[in-house]
Amino acid sequence: MSLKKSRVPTTRLGRLARLGFTAGEIAVGGMAEGVRRLRGVTVDDAYNVFLTATNAEKLARQLAGMRGAAMKMGQMLSMESADILPREFADALAVLRDSADTMPLAQIRRVMGREYGKGWENKFIDFVYMPVSAASIGQVHRVQTTDGRDLALKIQYPGVAKSINSDVDNMAMFMRMLKLLPIEFDIAGIIKEAKRQLHQEADYIQEAEYLTTYRELVRDEARFVVPKVHHDLTTKRILAMDYVEGVPLESLGDDGVRQELRDSVGALLECLVFRELFEFRTMQSDPNFANYLYQPEEDRIVLLDFGSTVTFNKEFTDQYAQIARALIDEDNGAARHYAESIGYLDAGNSDEHAERILDMIRLVCEPIRYDKIYDFGTSDLFARGRDAGMEMMLGDMSEYKVPPPETMFLHRKLVGSYMLCHRIGARINVQKLILPFLPRPIKPGARSN
């Protein structure tokens, strides 16, 4: 976690100025990179002179200080676009997944006073001002109440909720200006959905409801721990819940950890993804590694942060079940049909374009397609996905369409679960986990390979 303290900029003008300064820094860096490439000093392995590790570090530094929706979009860029960004750029932005700057003491006290009123300190016998964690929307503090409860308070940064729309618009303009996304991308739908989701994340009353609901949904699995909400201390800007201890889940990837444990934890998490999609139709869609802890003595996984929870309608999840079934059956006709139903393709797309999109879907679903143990730890799936994405972005984009916004959160969770399994070195037969949720084979006698 970052130990750097900085005041959260709370005004729209202040936040726009911060982003504008960053754009200027990156523009200058891009010009310098262009000159170096012309002189042959560097190898041009990226399609954009702005996409350098140095510029990504500048961007990450500024977004970590801004926090809020701007930082959240930086996190999303580092994950959703990891397959189309140069490795160095994506890696430098990855720091945004771990932590933000923390609020100075005076700003914390002002937020507490605004939410709890004068004399708020009397509610607690201990308040640890050094945060346990700091993320894009808020930071978490451990406290002990006067009646003896050991709690975690997630305290929202001031001004975050009011700045969401302008932050998202400014970041979209920023990415366009610096060509961080192909100019052909029509991201209006994604921008609209990002604003809706971020407004939801900034409403801690809503998150408390999701947290309570999810706690009930996984009650039948003893290896999951979901903190209990304490409604008497929860407001729209402060979420009070049980303080739950554990070690970072990704530490299971350390040397000396039994392979059986890695596999067991990975399988449990992958099965949860499929239960969220097909059974609950409610998904915690932020796969940030910091949202998972592990309790070694109890062999339990702690699930944290339900601000980015989404719900899917049955038609949508049924279509995903059908396309997964078609991929397992190697039924290309059915796969294309359901890709059109979901919105990845249009009926009038050329066969060449349809095959490119289907190849990307097959790649993303590689662990699902084969009835065998998939070794996430040694897989080069992410590198192949990045190369395929780069190749597609550099090709003819005239037929490309941005998928429906709701798919963005599903993709983030699915790919994020793969990344977590990769980090802990899990080996799993993923197909066996998803098959119970899928319809029967489309073709009589269809087989899995």
Tens-place pLDDT, residues 103-153: 889 999 999 999 999 999 999 999 999 999 877 788 899 999 999 999 999
Residue 179: per-residue pLDDT: 60
> 170 with 251, same domain?
no
- pTM equals 0.79
Q: Compute how many other C-beta atoms are within 10 angstroms of the C-beta atom of residue 314.
A: 9
- Cα(11)–Cα(158) distance, rounded to whole angstroms? 10
- Cα(425)–Cα(89) distance, rounded to whole angstroms? 24
> 445 with 341, same domain?
yes
Q: Is residue 49 part of a domain?
A: yes
- Cα(29)–Cα(58) distance, rounded to whole angstroms? 10
Q: What's the burial of 357, exposed, middle or buried (CB within 10 Å: 0-12/13-18/19+)?
A: buried
- Cα(201)–Cα(309) distance, rounded to whole angstroms? 8
Per the listing, tokens 């009397």 go with 122
> 285 with 171, same domain?
no
* pLDDT tens-digit map of 217-255: 999 999 999 999 999 999 999 999 999 999 999 999 999
Q: Is residue 89 part of a domain?
A: yes
Q: Does residue 263 have an active-site annotation?
A: no
Per the listing, tokens 């449990």 go with 268
Residue 427: per-residue pLDDT: 98
> 250 with 390, same domain?
yes
Residue 379: per-residue pLDDT: 94
Q: Is residue 139 part of a domain?
A: no
Q: Is residue 81 part of a domain?
A: yes
Residue 228: per-residue pLDDT: 98
Catalytic option among 83, 167, 263, 286: 286
- Cα(94)–Cα(175) distance, rounded to whole angstroms? 17
Q: Is residue 220 part of a domain?
A: no
Residue 15: per-residue pLDDT: 54
> 313 with 171, same domain?
no
Q: Where are the beta strands (DSSP E) in 148-296?
A: 150-156, 224-225, 238-242, 247-248, 282-284, 292-295
Domain boundary among 146, 175, 204: 175
Domain boundary among 149, 175, 201: 175
Residue 248: per-residue pLDDT: 94
> 171 with 312, same domain?
no
Q: Is residue 210 part of a domain?
A: no
> 171 with 317, same domain?
no
Residue 297: per-residue pLDDT: 96
> 439 with 330, same domain?
yes
The number of distinct structural domains making up the chain is: 2
> 266 with 170, same domain?
no
Residue 298: per-residue pLDDT: 96
Q: Compute how many other C-beta atoms are within 10 angstroms of the C-beta atom of residue 449.
A: 9
Q: Is residue 338 part of a domain?
A: yes
pLDDT beneath 50, residues of the chain: 1-2, 21-50, 81-84, 444-449
Q: Which domain holds residue 357?
A: 246-449
Domain boundary among 175, 196, 229: 175
> 348 with 436, same domain?
yes
Q: Is residue 60 part of a domain?
A: yes
> 433 with 296, same domain?
yes
Please list the alpha-helical segments (H only) found in 178-257.
188-201, 204-217
- Cα(139)–Cα(135) distance, rounded to whole angstroms? 6
Pairing of strands 124-127, 138-145: antiparallel
